Amino acid sequence: MKKLIIAGTAAFSFSAGAVQIPENITTPDKVVTSVGTFNYFDGYLDEAGTTRALELLQLQRASQVFLDHIPTTSMYAFTEGLTAAGQKQPNQVLLFEDMMDDQTLLLTANNDTVYFLGQYDLSRGPVVLQTPPDTLGFIDDARFHHIADTGRAGADKGQGGTFILLPPDYDNHYGSAEQLKNKHNAFVYQSPSYNIMMLNRGFRDQNGNWDKAVANIKANMKGFYLADIDNPPAMQFIKYTGKETNTIHANNQDFYQELNAAVQREPAQLYSVEERGLMESIGIVKGQDFIPKADLVQAAAVANAQARAVTFRPDDSFNVYPGNPQWTTPYEPNPSHDYVTENGGRNFDAMIYFHYYATGVSPAMALDFLEKGSKYAAAFHDSTGAYLDGGLHYTITIPAGVPAKDFWSFTVYDTQTRSMLVNGSKSSVIGFDAQANKDGSIPCTLHRSVRRESMKVTGLKLSAADHGPPSFVTMDRSRPGLIKPGSWVILKKLNHKND
């Protein structure tokens, strides 16, 4: 007996028994899997199975595109949000001079520092940013890849400096990078993308005031195109405290429209051949209209669930403190701002975790830059392992001697928006003015309404409707690793109809 295998126009035959075929290279006539049963005839998948397999393949590809490009769409949403807020030119800066509050949808921001933000389009030419002294900030590209730090962790070493940002296709029109550096006493960086962003912050003084920080920003922050360096336009500081804007990417099928828009405005080479191929498989191609080739409604739903699972239920490798699963950080397994492990591979869960709940990338977040950088840890669960619930009371004690040079803050965020919790008080932060015990420890409570039963108990309000994960933040740690906040403990469960 002979079997015939047809491939294209070529036919091959062999005698049964002439070749010993290993079982593990063949496919049984029936294969049962978690996604369905597949039936074969001598290796040929039947019609129903073929349809199902190809649907799964498209779902897999589209979901992977979502997960891989959370940073890209997050950056796109950031730039679109700032543009909608009126920040469209290099000489404009969005300034939260009375601190950011819960009206601004910005991933894990706080209202304990003075934010000033900008987005820039290098397709119009190189941009010059002159940054103030004694601030902390960074510049990222269109994929939220790090370009440069500014301020305390930057090349200017906190003294303020001139940063020249060159587009990916810069042709030395104004001189080479080295010439620009020498001529303008500047730090020169070439971006791989046209669209870039700056996120920067000023700090309170020892008395808790931020007037000096605002004055410093207004006096020293400058932005303009390199073509205008001899006669730069006047700066415009757009006051934005208390105003609404959204800088967060979509979680449904609109995500893919945002990704397509981001791809269209950048050089194709910003993405690898493999990345471009995967995007093309679902209809996203540079220079072409976006015609979806997959069920993007289902793909976005699956990928969003996966992103939330990775972020809000991280595994033990992300624990900040061994044995305490309440406090995690995406930088714990490998302190690398690009999530590259010691083995040379990229930790995709760390990348998803960080970019799903946070904005901006800097080595100063991942490494111990003593008295310069920022360190973060997040808690999503109470001491029982249950998700934090806005309908309950919680208590936690922060040990004495918080290892922060300038400030620390303890912020509550909304799990839906990953932004500051809307609780009616405009504040979701405990920090500078927290009341301490005699031993220096700080007892904190989370309520559906603020009650200060003792001046030594700092209360933070939770909304009756929202459910937010508190995030503990230590900034500019001078003694890294010494603080170990306790786990959340439920005080009591409340009736949602009463406070």
The more confidently predicted of residues 497 and 172 is: 172
* Residue that is written with structure tokens 């389009």 in the block: 121
Q: Average pLDDT, stretch 421-446?
A: 72
The alpha carbons of the chain give a radius of gyration, in whole angstroms, of: 26
pLDDT at site 408: 73
pLDDT at 69 over 80: yes
Angle separating helix axes 70-84 and 348-357, nearest 10 degrees: 20
pLDDT at site 389: 79
The more confidently predicted of residues 412 and 162 is: 162
Q: Average pLDDT, stretch 168-185?
A: 98
Q: Average pLDDT, stretch 214-226?
A: 98
Q: Provide the phi-psi class of 144: left if phi over 0, else alpha when psi is between -120 and 50, else beta.
A: left
pLDDT at site 477: 37
pLDDT at 481 over 50: no
CA dihedral 262, 264, 266, 270 (to 10 degrees): 80
Identity at 135, one-letter amino acid code: T
Relative to beta strand 458-461, strand 442-447 is parallel
Q: Average pLDDT, stretch 109-126?
A: 94
pLDDT at site 12: 43
pLDDT at site 386: 86
pLDDT at 306 over 60: yes
CATH 2.60.120.600 fits 348-493, yes or no: yes
Which of 204, 155, 221, 141 is closest to 476 using CA atoms?
204
Above pLDDT 90, what percent of the chain?
Answer: 62
In sign, the C-alpha dihedral spanning 186, 187, 188, 192 is: negative
- Span 237-246, pLDDT tens digits: 999 998 999 9
Confidence label for 396 from pLDDT (cuts 50, 70 and 90): confident
For residues 478 and 489, what is the distance between their CA atoms, to the nearest angstrom?
28
Confidence label for 205 from pLDDT (cuts 50, 70 and 90): confident
All structural domains of the chain with their residue ranges: 2-68, 86-242, 348-493
pLDDT at site 286: 98
Instruction: Check: CB of residue 201 under 8 Å from CB of residue 374.
Output: no
Instruction: Check: CB of residue 94 under 8 Å from CB of residue 118.
Output: yes
Confidence label for 199 from pLDDT (cuts 50, 70 and 90): very high
pLDDT at 368 over 80: no
Task: At 43, list the tokens.
Answer: 């290796």
pLDDT at site 48: 97
The more confidently predicted of residues 54 and 8 is: 54
Task: At 445, list the tokens.
Answer: 């409570």
pLDDT at site 373: 64
For residues 68 and 281, what is the distance between their CA atoms, to the nearest angstrom?
14
pLDDT at 353 over 90: yes
- Span 131-146, pLDDT tens digits: 999 999 999 999 999 9
Identity at 53, one-letter amino acid code: A
pLDDT at 278 over 80: yes
Q: Average pLDDT, stretch 442-462?
A: 54
pLDDT at 475 over 50: no
Above pLDDT 70, what percent of the chain?
Answer: 82
Instruction: Check: CB of residue 382 under 8 Å from CB of residue 327.
Output: no
Confidence label for 466 from pLDDT (cuts 50, 70 and 90): very low
Q: Average pLDDT, stretch 207-221?
A: 95
The more confidently predicted of residues 401 and 13 is: 401
Q: Please classify residue 131 by burial: count the beta carbons closer than 10 Å to its beta carbon, then call 0-12 exposed, 13-18 middle and 19+ buried.
A: buried
Which of 308, 483, 328 is closest to 409 using CA atoms?
483
Mean predicted lDDT score pLDDT of the chain: 85
pLDDT at 479 over 50: no
pLDDT at 257 over 90: yes
* CATH no. for 86-242: 2.60.40.1610
pLDDT at 336 over 90: no
Angle separating helix axes 70-84 and 47-68, nearest 10 degrees: 50
**∠ CA 162-337-284, rounded to 5°:** 95
Relative to beta strand 161-166, strand 187-190 is parallel
CA dihedral 444, 449, 454, 455 (to 10 degrees): 70
pLDDT at site 450: 44
Q: Average pLDDT, stretch 48-75?
A: 97
The more confidently predicted of residues 428 and 51 is: 51
Q: Average pLDDT, stretch 256-268?
A: 98
Confidence label for 357 from pLDDT (cuts 50, 70 and 90): very high
